Structure 1
């Protein structure tokens, strides 16, 4: 037997599925962005907001602009760098040898050699 005050299929704080007839949505406008790959993306903004000059294309991730004739160029893809490549950019060969020698000396001292 169910409780008489419970409404089946609802939860506390739930809202109606469709907008209320007594309210109207906030004013908005649609802005078209164009990327170098030829994609046309339509993004909705609030009516009082100034649309940004560039937007990331949802399809390819490249920058998209407002001008269809002159879309922004593609981003230069940086090659993947390993952790070692970044370390080699910051340290010289001599620095690496000195750090290694210091670490080995500390290790040998802790082990009692």
Structure 2
């Protein structure tokens, strides 16, 4: 198909206004640097008018996934996560072996009564 002599479709060729006149004015902002335990720096930008209390103290570093803080010399440590527990592990925390045996005996007795044994 022929393009009709219009090789650059959708673009404006020639001199004209550029930058802020075309795209609007940039809002005032503040750059805040965060560092993780590996020394990676991440810069986040926040609106200049917000109070410091609303700017987070820690973020997750996109480079390493580690927590990153504002203090370069003292980055936050990785929080120790608790290993995954199964449902049985939680039950064993709540019940003693004697309580578990008693509950099992009661449940088996009810089952036998329903079946007529």
Question: Smaller-chain TM-score range?
Answer: 0.5 to 0.7
Listed as ranges, the gaps of 5+ residues in structure 2 are 1-19
In the other structure, the counterpart of 1:4 is none
TM-score (norm 2): 0.65
> How many Å apart are 1:34 and its aligned residue?
0.8
* 1:35-71 CA distance string (max 9 Å, x none): 1122212222222232222222223332211011111
CA distance in 2, matches of 1:110, 1:25: 75
Task: Indicate the SS of the match to 1:43.
Answer: strand
Q: How many residues align?
A: 95
Residue in structure 2 matching 1:88, options 88, 92, 98: 92
More helix by share: 2
Listed as ranges, the gaps of 5+ residues in structure 1 are 1-18
TM-score (norm 1): 0.67
Larger of the two Rg values belongs to structure: 2
| RMSD between superposed Cα atoms in Å | 2.3
Q: How do 1:44-59 residues align onto structure 2 when only pairs under 5 Å count? A: 44-49=45-50, 50=52, 51-59=55-63
- 8 Å contact from structure 1 (residues 62, 75) kept in 2: no
